[in-house]
Amino acid sequence: MSGTYNAYLMYFLYNTPSQFDQMIMQAYSTHRFCVAPMMDWTDRHCRYFLRLFTKHTLLYTEMVTTGALLYGDAERFLRFNAAEQPVALQLGGSDPDELAKAAIMGEQAGYQEINLNSGCPSDRVQRGKIGACLMAEPTLVAECMAAMKEAVAIPVTIKCRIGIDEIDSLEHLSHFVETVSATGCHCFIIHARIAVLAGLSPKQNREIPPLDYERVFAIKERFPDLEIVINGGIKTLEESRHLLENVDGVMIGREAYQNPNLLARVDQQLFDSDYPVMSQEDVLAQFIDYAKNELRQGTALKHMTRHVLGLFQGQPGAKRFRRYLSENAHKQDAGIDILETAGRLVLNSNSLMETPIQEVLC
Ligand SMILES: Cc1cc2nc3c(=O)[nH]c(=O)nc-3n(C[C@H](O)[C@H](O)[C@H](O)COP(=O)(O)O)c2cc1C
């Protein structure tokens, strides 16, 4: 029986949209559609913004190292708004005890999942034995996963590559998945390209090694009981729907950040939800309310507005919106009027502020 069928059945039994949507959450994999962890991008303001478009998407934090949590300002790294849920915390580390302690902190802070980064190729993290270099050490990764699983009740998952350097075959990846899943890790998010650890920057490592979705599909075939989520180069909901014929979930990174309007129809198209589609104007109005509140608490406007630059991507006025924010949001004491004005430059509507658009443009 399909997830959709179950959800509709429950809708007719209970007959309320909220229960319907709750049933959808249960009927589909929690990882059916995810926004990727992205350092410096998916911070709490960004996640709040993206959540306005979609209720069902699972959002990931930026990677937080165990060192930052255990010896740094943990409160700052873990802070998030309850409205962002469901949110997964991504950890970077390779010491099982430290990861277990950090996972407990994440669980206590309210995150719904702990994810281990085994895919980041940067030199800096490699030196700390963090990220993609761990793909060469499946036994150590298994120890890390076992320690975290033992420490927390929430799901512990992993994000990895299809390989690294010369460790680049279906057999190697199968061995990695088999070893790590033996600890009870049930969900693997797989970026469908290898990481080249010497000679390519992290950015190049997201573009140069070719995508190999077939290897990810083969893992799903070999391990049908595991939840396999595919990542890398996905740009549309149509592609996502197509990929979901072979795997349990899709994760999108750059496209979701640069063109967030992509998320506006995720709930309806991938979860069969009856939530209304949020317009960009509604999203902006709600984000303005959020930003007002954050400004009162001392957050600088630029830390929030930098994430909304792609809101009107591809539409008339998008450039003016971006330019106005880029030129004004960083100014000292920049207030909410900057975001309101930027919005009016695109929307040409009176709903966001009272000053007529002509006065703004002059
Ligand atoms: C700016 C940026 C920062 C990233 N930071 C992380 C990170 O902290 N942890 C991680 O696992 N992947 C990180 N990634 C990789 C993404 O999660 C994702 O795997 C990659 O961008 C490929 O997906 P895409 O083609 O949909 O963007 C980052 C990507 C970008 C663009």
Instruction: Pick the atom of ligand 1 nearest to 235's CA.
Output: 26
Residue 161 clears pLDDT 80, i.e. is over it: yes
pLDDT given for residue 148 in this prediction: 98
Helix boundaries (H) for 244-334: 254-258, 266-270, 280-296, 301-305, 318-328
Using pLDDT thresholds of 50, 70 and 90, give the confidence band for residue 19.
low
**Tokens standing for residue 335:** 């207030």
As beta bridge partners, residue 87 has 59
Q: What is the mean pLDDT of residues 326-349?
A: 92
pLDDT at res. 350: 39
The closest-lying atom of ligand 1 relative to the alpha carbon of residue 117 is 11
Model pLDDT, residue 347: 83
Is 160 an annotated catalytic residue? no
Best of 34, 35, 38 to mutate for ligand 1, by most ligand atoms within 8 A of CB? 38
Residue type present at position 199: G
* pLDDT band per the 50, 70, 90 thresholds, residue 348: confident
Q: What is the pLDDT of residue 255?
A: 98
Reported confidence tier of residue 84, pLDDT bands at 50, 70, 90:
very high
Instruction: For ligand 1, say whether the CB of 65 is within 6 Å of any of its atoms.
Output: no
What pLDDT is recorded for position 20?
Answer: 61
What is the number of the ligand 1 atom nearest to the C-alpha of 203?
Answer: 31
Q: pLDDT-derived band of residue 66, with 50, 70 and 90 as boundaries?
A: very high
Compute, in angstroms, the gap from residue 41 CA to the centroid of ligand 1: 9
What does the DSSP 8-state code read for residue 112?
S
Q: For residue 74, report the distance from its CA to the centre of ligand 1, in Å.
A: 22
| pTM of the predicted protein model | 0.91
Confidence of residue 357 (pLDDT cuts 50, 70, 90): very low
The rounded distance, in Å, linking the Cα atoms of 176 and 135 is: 7
Partnered with residue 190 across adjacent β-strands are 160, 230
pLDDT at residue 14 tops 90? no
Q: What does residue 230 show for φ and ψ, rounded to 5 degrees? A: -100, 145
Residue whose CB lies within 8 A of the most ligand 1 atoms, among 31, 33, 34, 39, for a mutation test: 39
Write down the pLDDT at residue 359. 39
Q: What is the pLDDT of residue 10?
A: 46
Q: Which two tokens stand for residue 106?
A: 């994440």
Residue nearest to atom 30 of ligand 1 (CA): 38
193 lines ligand 1 (CB under 6 A): no
Average pLDDT of 144-165? 98
Measured from the Cβ of residue 29, the count of other Cβ atoms closer than 10 Å reads: 18
pLDDT attached to residue 38: 98
Q: Residue 156: beta bridge partners?
A: 114
Mean pLDDT (whole number) for 162-189: 97
Kindly give the interhelix angle for 336-347 and 280-296, rounded to the nearest 10 degrees.
Answer: 170
Residue nearest to atom 14 of ligand 1 (CA): 38
Q: Largest Cα–Cα distance of the chain, in whole Å?
A: 65
Question: Nearest residue CA, atom 23 of ligand 1?
Answer: 232
Which band of pLDDT confidence, cut at 50, 70 and 90, is reported for residue 123?
confident
Query: Ligand 1 centroid to 233 CA: how many Å?
Result: 11
| Ordered structural domains, the chain, with CATH | 31-270 (3.20.20.70), 280-361 (1.20.120)
Mean pLDDT of 29-38: 96
Q: For the residues 347-359, what does the mean pLDDT come to?
A: 49
Arithmetic mean of pLDDT, 122-148: 93
pLDDT above 70 (res 121):
yes
Mean residue pLDDT of the chain comes to 91
Tell me, what's the pLDDT at 128? 85
